[in-house]
Chains A and B, each alone.
Chain A
Amino acid sequence: MQLSNAVAVLGQFPVLAGADLTVHRGEIVLLQGPNGAGKTSLLRLFAGLLPLARGEGTVLGCDLRTNRESIRKRVGLLGHANGLYADLTVTENVRFWGATVGATSAEVDAAMVRMGLAQRLAKVPVSKLSAGQKRRTALACLVARRAELWLLDEPHAGLDATGRDELDATLREATAVGATIIVASHELERAGALATRLVEVVGGQIREKAGSGGSSASAAIDESA
């Protein structure tokens, strides 16, 4: 993924103002920054949902200006909403989202096992789940969709300690098999331990955090604290 002098606007408001960023396959990049800094917009730009107004950008080899449709099929975005259907069960939701990319039953089952949903929650309607269980279900949908690039906006929100550990393990597994992950989070301690790089988004621009290129971004977070 590469952005060069990227500008994106929402209405008349520039949400990204000359952003530069390069992300390599297999990385877990943590986006840090205050509310309204442009983190979510950056994720939506990478997902092909926000058009690139100026500058250059490629995602998984596809041009962000001309080929956004192709990008979407290979990217999984988990925003503030979960994208779940309240009247369907957990299994039915994961099966539906998996089926949109032709996932097999085995892949759907594996996604549910991975997120701890295969047992007592499998047949429970989503309307009866807690916020954390809904988040886990949404993540299972993402796993079933076999996304190459995961774009996660506050993925730990609402998860208990076990759910957070399971999520982190899932993300590490995903990167081990070639997925790339970009996470926007205010939970720096948790997300920083997971990330391989820390990037700061301020006023629609991107700053690489010093010393965040190692195996973990925790050191950079400690430094910034």
Chain B
Amino acid sequence: MFRTARLVAAKDLRIELRSRVVTNQVLPFAAIVMVMFAFALNTDAVVERVAPGLVWLATLFSLLILVQRSFAIETADGATDAMRAAGIDPAGIFLGKALALAAELAVLEIVLLATAVILYRQDLRASGVVLLVSTFLAATIGLALVGTLYGGLAAGVRGRETLLPLLLLPVVAPVLIGATRATEAALGTAGAVVADGWPWLGLLGVFVALFSVGGTLAFGPLIEE
């Protein structure tokens, strides 16, 4: 399973390095979303207050594009079918694709966080660094796992482009809430303290545990159907 996961992740990342979809399309898209939020909210105080939530909303919108892209490369020339026909371990495919997606998301989130610090005047505090890094790590893994699971589900059906957001966004609501609250605590937004963030990180941990086990078990039957 882990050997397959490594192969699939390496393949997906190599394809990304060649096509540069993340750097040339998804990153600019996410940056534009952040700027548009600032235009829409207009007032500095409001923007500074909601900045952590905006970072995670922009991440979710970009996740939809990344997941669509991740499965488009598989369905374009029948590679999903070829993987099934080759008897490749579905759990390995799931973990590999989630790993590659997590790496792409991580790059995106670093840029979004930097944008929030510059554009929305967020402070990076030394006392919140551990919570911030842990939150980004857990949320990234959680989003990658659930994105891969639902991407696999939507990949085989007609109208997948519209179906994916419909299926995925409600499921990732706990990540949006947990990651936003924990990020607020780490950055001290609106007087939040670091201690407030740890329970939310716990929620993200439960989410990751659920979807890593559930996704590994469910991905095979999903792509089989």
Contacts and interface: CB of A to CB of B under 8 A. Distances in A.
Contact of A85 (B77, B85, B86): B77
A165 interface: no
B18 A87 contact: yes
A82 B78 contact: yes
B19 interface: yes
Interface residues of B, number: 20
A85 B87 CA distance: 18
Interface residues of A, number: 30
B126 interface: no
A65 interface: no
Interface of A: 47-49, 69-77, 79-88, 92, 96-97, 99-101, 125, 145
A145 B88 CA distance: 12
A88 B82 contact: no
Given A69-B87, A75-B85, A100-B88, 18 more contacts: A47-B85, A49-B81, A72-B87, A73-B86, A73-B87, A76-B86, A77-B85, A79-B78, A81-B82, A83-B78, A83-B79, A83-B83, A84-B77, A85-B77, A87-B73, A88-B11, A92-B11, A97-B86
Contact of A83 (B7, B11, B18, B81): B81
Contacts of B157: none
A83 B82 contact: yes
A80 B84 CA distance: 15
A93 to B, nearest CB: 9
B79 A85 contact: yes
Given A85-B15, A92-B14, A49 B78 contact: no
Contact of A84 (B7, B79, B81): B79
Query: Which of A71, A80, A84, A85 gathers the greatest number of chain B CB atoms within 10 Å?
Result: A85
Contacts of A82: 77-78
A88 B18 contact: yes
Contacts, number: 73
B4 interface: yes
B128 to A, nearest CB: 39
B76 interface: yes
B66 to A, nearest CB: 15
B11 A100 contact: no
Contacts of B83: 83, 100
Interface in B139-192: none
B19 A87 contact: yes
Nearest to A77: B85
Nearest to B15: A87
Interface string B87-100: 11000000000000
Interface string B6-20: 010001001100110
Contacts of B85: 47-49, 72, 75-77, 79, 83
Query: Which of B19, B78, B83 gathers the greatest number of chain A CB atoms within 10 Å?
Result: B78
